[in-house]
Structures are given as structure tokens and as C-alpha cells.
Amino acid sequence: MPEAKKPNPARRNERSRHAILDAARELIREVGYAKVSIEAIAARAGVGKQTIYRWWPSKGAVVFDSFLALSGNPEEGITLPDTGDIEADLKLVMRATAAEFADPDFEAPIRALNSEIISDSGLAAQYREKLARPVDDAKKARLRAAQQAGQLASDADLDLVLEVLYAPLYQRWLHRSGPLTAEYADALVDITLRAFRP
């Protein structure tokens, strides 16, 4: 077996790792994902190219990791507000999500991330596992509470509920096919609750 050489993670230089992820994030913001090159990341980070190739298989992977690092490592799960009023709580969250998507500062990097995810199934899996899952779990926890409170059909598939709730917003943002207003966020909550009411 040829068996690719594996570098020893114990010896990894944490200083370099950070510099690389920081440089990646900065460059994406400054010039856009498509124009970021590994050479530029290495130069900006003051690092040899080989150090990047040693630890990451592709530009996408570096960028992805830079997102992971950014989102902190929420070892303990996130929790959504629970006032007992599922409609109010969801509208709060949905409006926040819509606002985040509309924020031009988040625009470029999130588009970069999505672009990479579409065509790289490995990164897509990582994305689901590391970035989407924790958030989705928190949302599902809140929905489960609503089910128990009789505000949602008890047999509703919560993954499906999440999709109906978020996918329209996501698609509208991705295709720039309409404005992401608070009213729109509210409308999606209303529709979802109507579709899945007990």
C-alpha cells in the first residue's frame, strides 16, 4: 500500500494555523472568494505554501476551516429563546436570519461558502455536520417543545418543518429573487405554522 504520508498533528505550529485562517478570512473579504489564491494566503500569513498543502487538501477546505474557526467552537449547544409563544419566537429568529443574510458584510463570505459547498460534496458533508447541525438541533429542540405544547402537529417531521421554514428564505437570497424583509420572515413563519398545525 503506497499509504500517503501523514504529517504529525502534534508537531503542528498553531501560530501558522491561525495566521493562515486569518489571512484567508481577510482576503475573502477584501477581494472575494474567487480571486483568493493559496499563494496569496501564504504570503499574507507569512507562511510557506507547503504548510498549507500539508494540512489542507484544497482552497475550499482552508476557507471552510476559516469559517469554522470564526463561528467559535460552541462545544455546548446553542439554545433558542423560548417564551412559550412559538410564533413570536420563530419570528424573532427568522427576522434575525433575514437581517443577517441582508448584511452586506456577510454577503461575500457566505456566498463563497455556498459556492464551494455546491460543487464539493465532501465540504457539503462537513458543512452539514459542523456548521448546520448544531444550529438545526437547537431549532428542532425549540420545535419539539412547541409540539409538546400542542402548537405543532405531534407527528410533524421536524427536518421538513425546518426546510419549509428556511429554504424559501435561503433560495430568495441565493438567487436574489426578492427582498429579505421582516414581513417576509413573518410570512414564512405564518405559513409554516399553518401547514404544520395540529
Partner DNA sequence: TGGTAAGCGAGACGGTACGTCCGGTCTTTCG
Partner DNA sequence: CGAAAGACCGGACGTACCGTCTCGCTTACCA
Residue with smaller CB distance to DNA, 8 or 83 = 8
What is the spatial distance between Cα 81 and Cα 93, in angstroms, rounded to a whole number? 8
**By CB under 8 A, which span of 72-80, 97-105, 119-127, 140-148 interacts with a second copy?**
119-127
- Cell numbers linked to 65: 476551516
DSSP for 65-133, written as a single string: HHHHHHT----SPP-----S-HHHHHHHHHHHHHHHHH-HHHHHHHHHHHHHHHH-HHHHHHIIIIIIH
Q: Is 146 in the site for DNA (CB under 7 A)?
A: no
**Dihedral angle, C-alpha 101, 98, 129, 85, nearest 10 °:** 160
For DNA, which residue of 18, 30, 48, 78 counts as binding (CB under 7 A)?
A: 48
Residue that has been written with the C-alpha cell 460543487 in this structure: 119
Residue 56-95 contact track with a second copy, rule CB under 8 A, x = bound: ----------------------------------------
What is the spatial distance between Cα 72 and Cα 45, in angstroms, rounded to a whole number? 20
Residue 24-43 contact track with DNA, rule CB under 7 A, x = bound: -----------x-xxxx---
56-115 residues near DNA, rule: CB under 7 A: 58-59
* Radius of gyration of the chain measured on its C-alpha atoms: 20
Contacting residues toward DNA, per CB under 7 A: 7-8, 10-13, 15-17, 19, 35, 37-40, 46-51, 53-55, 58-59
Contacting residues toward a second copy, per CB under 8 A: 32-34, 111-112, 114-115, 117-119, 121, 124-125, 127-128, 132, 157, 159-160, 163-164, 166-168, 170-172, 174-178, 187-188, 191-192, 194-196
